[in-house]
Each structure stands twice: as C-alpha cells, then as structure tokens.
Amino acid sequence: MDPIGKRRWAIAEGYIPKESVSDDYALRSHETVCILNAGEREANVAITVFYTDRDPPPAHRVKVPPRRTLHLRFCDIGVPRGTDYASVIESDVPIVVQHTRLDSRRAEISLLSTIAYTE
C-alpha cells in the first residue's frame, strides 16, 4: 500500500481530567494520540508537548512498524492530569494522527475523537 498521511501534525487542545469514576485503567480519564502507519517503512515519530507555563520537555520518541497502528496515552508519557497542553507529532514517513479523549469524571462517560491538524 502506498503511504498515506502527512509528516507533521498538531493537536492544539489537550487536557486530561484529574477525576475519574473508576480506578480501572480502561475507565480512567485520559487522552490518546492514535497513529496510523499504512506505509511499508517504519515510522520514527517525535511527540513534543507544549504547556501554557513552561518550555516543552524533550520530545517523546516512538516507532510505529509498517502497516500498524499505535495508540499512546499522553499520561503514560508524562503529561500531568489537570494541565492544559498541546502537542506536535512529527514523523520521517507519512502517518495519520487522531486525538481521542475519554472523560470519565461522571458516570455518563463521554468520548471525543478528532483528526489532528496538518498542513
């Protein structure tokens, strides 16, 4: 399959609620970056996180094998709960990026998902 997507993506909105209705990992409030590598080459991806009150830390680096997807929770790469943030995702091959939030502060759990911005 020919590669699809772009090499640079941005998620301008980010916020992981502190509260959750459960301590179960699957039901904890979280945000996820979903990366699709539909091409034939491994994707070397750098995720830079931006905050309102401090400089970004060094980029978090991951590899996504060819013809695979990776779903990575922002809290698992050090983004603190209850903090506004944004992110830029850069890859050496074209990828597709989606942003998903599970807000489980109430029993009526809400899920938001959107494609990230790219030029």
Would you say 33 and 87 are in contact if contact means Cβ atoms under 8 Å apart?
yes
List phi, psi (to 5°) of 118. Answer: -145, 155
- Mean pLDDT of the chain, nearest integer: 88
Which of helix, strand or coil describes residue 7? strand
Any idea what the CATH number is for the domain that residue 96 is in? 2.60.290.11
Reported pTM: 0.88
Structural domain contains residue 87 = yes
Residue 1 located in a structural domain:
no
Strand partners, 18: none
For the cut 80, the answer to whether the pLDDT of residue 105 exceeds it is: no
Cα–Cα dist 72/44, whole Å: 14
Q: How many domains does the chain have?
A: 1
Q: Report which listed range, 32-36, 44-48, 105-109, 114-118, is most confident.
A: 44-48
Structural domain containing residue 23? 6-115
Distances from the Cα of 6 to the Cα of 39, 49, 68, angstroms: 12, 19, 16
